[in-house]
Structure 1
Amino acid sequence: MIKKLLIANRGEIACRIIRTARAMGIATVAIYSDADAQALHVSHADEAIHIGASPARESYLVPGKILAAAAASGADAIHPGYGFLSENAGFAQAVIDAGLVWVGPKPASIIAMGLKDAAKRLMQAAGVPTTPGYLGDDQSPARLQAEADAIGYPVLIKAVAGGGGKGMRRVENAADFGDALESCRREAAASFGEDRVLIEKYILSPRHIEVQVFGDLHGNVVHLFERDCSLQRRHQKVIEEAPAPGMDAATRAALCATAVQAARAVDYVGAGTIEFIADASDGLRADRIWFMEMNTRLQVEHPVTEAITGVDLVEWQLRVASGEALPRRQDELAIDGWAMEARLYAEDPATGFLPSIGKLEVFDVGTAWRIDTGVRQGDAISPFYDPMIAKVIAHGVDREAARSSLATTLGGMQIWPLRTNAGFLGMALAHPDFAGVRLDTGLIAREGDALLPPVQPSPMALAGAASALVRPGAINGFRLNACAVREGSFLLDGVPIRLPIGDQAGGQDQILIAEHGQMWALSRWRIVGGGGDAAANGAILSPMPGRIIAVFVGEGEAVTKGQKLLTLEAMKMEHTLVAPFDGIVVALAAVAGGQAVAGAALANIDRRES
C-alpha cells in the first residue's frame, strides 16, 4: 500500500483526496502556489511544499516542480486529481520513470483517448457505436465543408484536442460553415496548440450521459452505473445526477456493457468515464446512444456515483494503484436511491457569470448530504484559478427527494460579499422541464434570462431589513400601511434606493439580507423628511473589488466637478475616482488601506451649495 501521497492539485479535490487518504492511514503532501499559501488543502495535509508563483503555468502546471516536491517530501505516489496535469501522459510517464506510483491510468491509455478523432477510430474498431461524422486526415476547408454538407445540418465542429467546451461550434447551415470552422480552429490552436477538427452530426434533443468505469492491474473492469450531465451552460456541466432519469433496465445494461467494452479496448486501469451523447427525442434507447469521448481521470461529479453505490472512488484509486484487485465484483454493485450535485461558483449571473473574486467574509453553505469544498470563511477567491467554491450533493430515495433536498440547501446559503450562482442553480432545479425530465443540453440556453434569480430582495425582505435599520429590534415590525411620514435613503449593495420608514430613527448601520441563496447588503445612507430632496444623488461606487490606497477629501468638504476623491488599486492598476459635479461630501465610507467590494458605496456628493 502507498505510504505517502503527494496531491498534484489544489482546492476541493485536494481536500477530498486528503480525507480518504487519512482514513486509509496514508500520509499526505500538499503543494501550493503563492496565492494558496493559506489555502484549506494546505492546512489539511500532513505537510505542504511551496512550488511557485500564483499563475498555474508557474506552479501547478510545471511537472519538474511537482516531481521535485515529491522527492523532497519522500512521497512514494502522486495523485493528480482532475484538471491541471491529470490527463497529461508525459507527466504520468515522468512520475513512473521517477520510481513513483502514478494514481491513474497507464500513459498509453491517456494517449489513446487523448485526441477525439483517434479515440473515435479506436472505439469504432472495438465495435463501440460512435456519433455519425467525419474523422478524416484531409483537413482542407473544402473537404470539411463537403463532409458537413453530406452529414446534414446542423453539425458540430469539434477540435480533436478539445475539452471543456473550447474549440467547439454548432453550425446551422452551409453558409455559416466557413466562418465557424475558422473561428473554431483559432480557438483550438490558442487553447490546445492543435487546430485539427472533426465533424459530427448535431443531435437535436441531446442528453449527455456518462458511465463510470474502473479497471485494475489484474484485468478486471467494472462499471458503477451512469450519470446524467445534460444540464449545461456553454458546454460546462451545471447539475449532475445519478442514475439517469428515464433510463430503463435494458437500456442501462446495454449502455454500461458498452462502456466496459470501451475501457477494455484501451487496457484501462483506474477510474475513468466513458461519455455518450443520446438522442432523447424518442426517449432513451440503446440504439440512439453514441460514444463521444473518454475522460481518463476522476470526474468532478464523481460524488453522485459514490452516493448511489456506497463506494469511495478515491479509495479504489489508491488500492488499484497499489496493485490490489478491485474491491467488488460487478454483481456486488447496485444502485441505492438518487443523487444530485450542483457546482457552486463564485460568479455573478447578473453580469454574464463573470467571476466574483475577493474575501469570503460570510461563507455558510448550510447542511446537505455532502458538501465538498476547498475554502472556508475568511478565505479569498483569487483570479488565478477556476472559481468553483463547492460541490453540493444531495441523496434521496428517489429523484424528487434528491431534487427537493438540493434546492433547499442552495436556497438557504449565505455567502457574502462575493456573488455566487446559488440562486441560478435553484431556478434551474425548479424549472418544470428539469423537474419533469424534459431536459436536454440546450435547456439553459433556451430559457436564458428566465433562469436568472432576482436582482434584489423581495419587497417583504426589504421592508423587514429597512425596519431593522431604523428601529432597533423591529425586524418583523414593519407594516406598509403604517404611518410613513418619512422616507429613508438606503444603499442596496451600494446602489441608492428609497424606502418608506416609521417615525423613529436609530438601529444598525447595515444589515445583510439572505433570500433564495443570494445575499444583499442594505445600509443606512441618510434619513430625510417626507417630500424632501432625494439623497445619495451622487453616490460614488467602487467599480471593482480592490484596495483603497488614498483618500483626498473629508466628510463635509466642498468639492468641484472632476476633483480627485480617492484612488483604488485593483487588478494591479490604480483607478482614481472623481467628483461628478460641484457639491458637498455628505458621506464618506472610504478609508485608506481598506478593502472595497464591487459596487460598494465609497462616498456621496450632494449638489447643494456649502
Structure 2
Amino acid sequence: MSESESAATISGAATITSVLVANRGEIARRVFATCRRMGLGTVAVYSDADAASPHVAEADAAIRLPGNTPAETYLRGDLIVAAALAAGADAIHPGYGFLSENAEFARSVLDAGLVWIGPPVAAIEQMGSKVESKKMMDAAGVPVLRELDPAEVTAAELPVLIKASAGGGGRGMRVVRELAELPAQLEAARREAESAFGDPTVFCERYLETGRHIEVQVMADAHGTVWAVGERECSIQRRHQKVVEEAPSPLVERIDGARDSGSRTSSGQSAGERGRPTMRERLFHAARLATEAIGYRGAGTVEFLADEQGDFFFLEMNTRLQVEHPVTECTTGLDLVRTQIRVAQGHRLPAEPPPLRGHSIEVRLYAEDPAQDWQPQSGSVHHIDFGPGTTEFAVLSEAGVRVDSGVVPGSVVGVHYDPMLAKVISYADTRDEAAHLLATTLRRARIHGLVTNRDLLVRVLRHPAFLAGDTDTAFFATHGLETLAAPLVSESGEALSAVAAALADAAANRAAAGIGGGLPSGWRNLPSDPQRKSYESRTTGTHEIRYRFTRTDVAVDGHEGLTAAEVTPASVTLLVPGDRGPVRRRFEVARYGDAIAVDSPLGPVALRRVPRFTDPADQVAAGSLLAPMPGTVIRLGAEPGSTVVKGQPLLWLEAMKMEHTIAAPADGVLTELNVIVGQQVEVGAVLAVVSDDSDTTTETQE
C-alpha cells in the first residue's frame, strides 16, 4: 500500500467534496445520482463522440478528452487525472469498464493527491492477471478450474474457453471445440484483448457447456470488516456477456431450499438443519477467503462457475463495481456506490450486512439484432420511454421497476462503445412477480429508432424454463435462439399495426394540408378506387394497405368488419371483429421521416414507408453484402474472382470493441470486393458482391 493511499483512507482523514467519474454514459450517470444524494459535486469527462451525452449535461463540470476511440480518451489515465485536477475534484470513481481495474491508473490517482474510490493498488495488481489470481486463490483454499497453456491444449481437453487475462465483459473470449481452430481463435482473442484492455495476454481453461454463473458481491473496509453482501446469478449470456442477472440465485435457492425451509440472511446463515454448510454459506466463505487473501478494500465481485449439484469453481475477481450491482442494491437496501465512497473516506462498515429481502431481476437492453448473430446497431434513438411508475437509479424498497440508462430521446449510438441502451431492473417479493413485472414493462416500453433485443428479453422472462429457474449458460442454445428472438407481435397483429399506420398517415396528411369540413382525404360521395399505402417490415415483408373512407367509417380491404372508432395522426383505435363481438384496440403511431413506430398491447412494430416510385440509383445488385454497421475493415478472407461457399468469412469489421465476421450469403463467386484493410465504412456500404456460379458462367460465355 502506498503512503498516500494509507494516509487518505485508513486514517479516516479523506475529505471528498467533488467526484470525477472516469467513465461515460449510464455508468457515469449512476455514480452521479448517488453523489447528488450525498451532496457531492460531480465532474464528467467526455470524448468528442460523447459531447452531447446526458452524463455531460448532468455534471457540474465536464472536461473534453480529444478523440473518439477509447484508446484516445477513456483509456488515457493521464488525461483523466489532469481533468480532475483542472476541475477541482478531490476524488475519482472509475465506474466499471475502461480503467476501473487498471492498477497503474489507480496509482496515478493516489500519486496526484486524489482519493481513489476503489480497492488498493496491490489488490488490483494481484487480481489483474487471471492466470496469477487463480494460483493465489488455489493457495488460499478457494476451489479453481485448472488453467491450460494455449500451446499445450490437447484434443482430450476440448472444448476450451480462451479468456483475456486483463479484462472481462466477454472481450477476448472464444470457445474452441476443434483443435485446428485454436491458433486462429487465439489470434482473434488477442486482438480483441489488446483493443479493449491494452493487453493481448490470453489463457485457456476447460469450458463447461452448461454451467451456472454465480457471483458474490463483497464489500470490505480498512478496519478488517469483510461483507459477503449476497449472491447473484448471471447464467443467461450471449457471447460470454451477461444478458439477464438476478438476486438471489435460483440455483442456490433450489439447492438450499431442499434442506432448509427457513429464512435466509446475507451472512449465509440458515434456520434449517445444520451439518454440512449450505451452498450459500460455502459461496460466501469462499468469497471472504478470496477477499481476505489480498487485503481487499471497497466493492468487488468474486465470480464462480457452478454445476447443478452445487459444486463451484473460482473464475475471477472483479476489483470494481459490477454492471449488475442494482439487483444486490434492491435485495439489500444498500446504495453500493454510497458505501464505496464512505469506505474510501475511511468509515467503518457495520459488523454485519443487512438481511436479504425479496427478489430482483436485471436485463440489459442492447441495440443489437439477436436474430442476425447479435449484430450491434448504430444510429439515433428517436424515442425511449419505459412508462409511468418507473424510476431512475433508485434503490427500490417496494415492488417496482428501475431504469439505469445512458441515453435519452435524440441520443446517437455510435460504433466506438458498447451498444447497451439501458439496464432495466425489477424488484418484488417473489421471483415470479419480479419476472412478470419486468416482462410487462419491457413489452409496453416505447423504444423507437434502433433494432433492440427487447423481444428476446421478454420471451426469456416469460419462458417456462426461466420461470422454473433452469438458467444455465447454454440457455439460448437449448431453447433455440430463433424462437426466443422472434417478434413479440404476431403476423395478424403486425397487419393491424400497418392498418393503423396507414390511417394515421392519412390523418397526418389531411392535417398538414389543412383540409376542413370534417371530410377525410380521399373521401368521395360515389364509389371509387381505394387509396393505397405500403409499408415494409423487417420480419414479414411488405404490407399494402388499401382503404376507402365512407360517410361514417373506413373500409380496409382484407379486413372485413374492421371499423375505426378514432383516427388521429398520433393514435388509431380500431374495433376488431371477434367471435364474441368487436374488440377495441388502441395503437400509438409515431413518425420519423419514412420510419413508422406503432406501439400497442399486441407488441411493438417498426415499419418503413415504401415510396411510390423507386430511384434506380438506390438499387443494389443481387448478392451484395452491405455493412451492417459503421466500422473498420481489419482483415480480408478471400480475393476477387475466388469461389466461395455459404458461410465462408469474406472480411472482418471491428466496431463497438468487437470483431464482426461478414460471410458469404450463398455459394458462388466473389465478383466484387470494394474494401481494403484499414478502410472505414459506413452502414449500408456495399462491401462485396457474391454472384451465383451460373450467372458468372453465362456472362463469360456471352
Q: Which residue of 1 aligns with 2:668?
A: none
Matched, 1:127 2:212: no
Matched, 1:503 2:517: no
Matched, 1:111 2:115: no
Distance 1:545 1:168 in 2: 22
Q: Which runs of 5+ in 2 are unaligned?
A: 1-14, 257-269, 271-277, 391-400, 509-526, 555-566, 570-590, 621-625, 631-654, 656-681, 686-702
Q: Which runs of 5+ in 1 are unaligned?
A: 475-482, 527-534, 548-570, 572-595, 600-610
Residues 219-252 of structure 1: per-residue CA shift (max 9 Å, x gap): 1110111000000001010010000003125211
Judging changes above 3 Å, is the alpha-carbon distance between structure 1 residues 82 and 498 closer, same or farther for their aligned structure 2 residues?
Answer: closer
| TM-score normalised to structure 1 length | 0.78
Instruction: Tell whether the 8 Å contact from 1:545 to 1:598 is kept in structure 2 after alignment.
Output: yes
SS in 1 for 2:469: coil
Judging changes above 3 Å, is the alpha-carbon distance between structure 1 residues 597 and 376 closer, same or farther for their aligned structure 2 residues?
Answer: farther
Distance 1:500 1:82 in 2: 49
Instruction: Tell whether the 8 Å contact from 2:489 to 2:604 is kept in structure 1 after alignment.
Output: no
* Superposition map of 1:191-202 within 5 A: 197-202=202-207
Distance 1:221 1:418 in 2: 43
Instruction: Tell whether the 8 Å contact from 1:232 to 1:239 is kept in structure 2 after alignment.
Output: yes
Distance 2:162 2:541 in 1: 47
Judging changes above 3 Å, is the alpha-carbon distance between structure 1 residues 27 and 465 closer, same or farther for their aligned structure 2 residues?
Answer: same
Shift of 1:487: 7.3
Q: Which residue of 2 aligns with 1:425?
A: 457
Q: Which residue of 2 aligns with 1:145?
A: 153
Of 361, 370, 375, 2:382 maps to 361
Q: Which residue of 1 aligns with 2:281?
A: 253
| TM-score normalised to structure 2 length | 0.68
Percent identity between the two aligned chains: 44
Q: Which residue of 2 aligns with 1:8?
A: 22
* Superposition map of 1:447-458 within 5 A: 447-454=480-487, 458=491
Residues 247-280 of structure 1: per-residue CA shift (max 9 Å, x gap): 1252111111210111010111110000000012
* Superposition map of 1:256-335 within 5 A: 256-280=284-308, 282=309, 285=310, 288-326=311-349, 328-330=350-352, 332-335=353-356
SS in 2 for 1:298: coil
Of 510, 513, 528, 2:598 maps to 513
Matched, 1:401 2:428: no
Judging changes above 3 Å, is the alpha-carbon distance between structure 1 residues 6 and 242 closer, same or farther for their aligned structure 2 residues?
Answer: same
Judging changes above 3 Å, is the alpha-carbon distance between structure 1 residues 234 and 523 closer, same or farther for their aligned structure 2 residues?
Answer: same
SS in 2 for 1:336: coil
Distance 1:177 1:434 in 2: 33
Of 511, 525, 535, 1:491 maps to 535
The count of corresponding residues between Structure 1 and Structure 2 is 520
Matched, 1:155 2:160: yes
Distance 1:175 1:239 in 2: 33
Q: Which residue of 2 aligns with 1:589?
A: none
Q: Which residue of 1 aligns with 2:56?
A: 42
Judging changes above 3 Å, is the alpha-carbon distance between structure 1 residues 253 and 48 closer, same or farther for their aligned structure 2 residues?
Answer: same
Output the amino acid matched with 1:346.
A
Instruction: Tell whether the 8 Å contact from 1:154 to 1:202 is kept in structure 2 after alignment.
Output: yes
Q: Which residue of 2 aligns with 1:212?
A: 217
SS in 2 for 1:166: coil
Instruction: Tell whether the 8 Å contact from 1:359 to 1:379 is kept in structure 2 after alignment.
Output: yes
Shift of 1:27: 0.8
SS in 1 for 2:153: helix
Instruction: Tell whether the 8 Å contact from 1:465 to 1:522 is kept in structure 2 after alignment.
Output: no
Output the amino acid matched with 2:351.
R
RMSD of aligned C-alpha atoms? Answer: 3.3
Distance 1:412 1:72 in 2: 44
Residues 403-424 of structure 1: per-residue CA shift (max 9 Å, x gap): 1011011101111121211111
Moved more, 186-195 or 403-412: 186-195
Output the amino acid matched with 2:378.
I
Distance 2:629 2:51 in 1: 20
Instruction: Tell whether the 8 Å contact from 1:490 to 1:496 is kept in structure 2 after alignment.
Output: no
Distance 2:184 2:437 in 1: 45
Shift of 1:298: 0.5
* Superposition map of 1:442-481 within 5 A: 442-446=474-478, 447-454=480-487, 458-467=491-500, 469-470=502-503
Shift of 1:448: 2.1
SS in 2 for 1:491: strand
Distance 2:402 2:49 in 1: 27
Distance 1:468 1:519 in 2: 10
Output the amino acid matched with 2:447.
I
Distance 2:100 2:455 in 1: 31
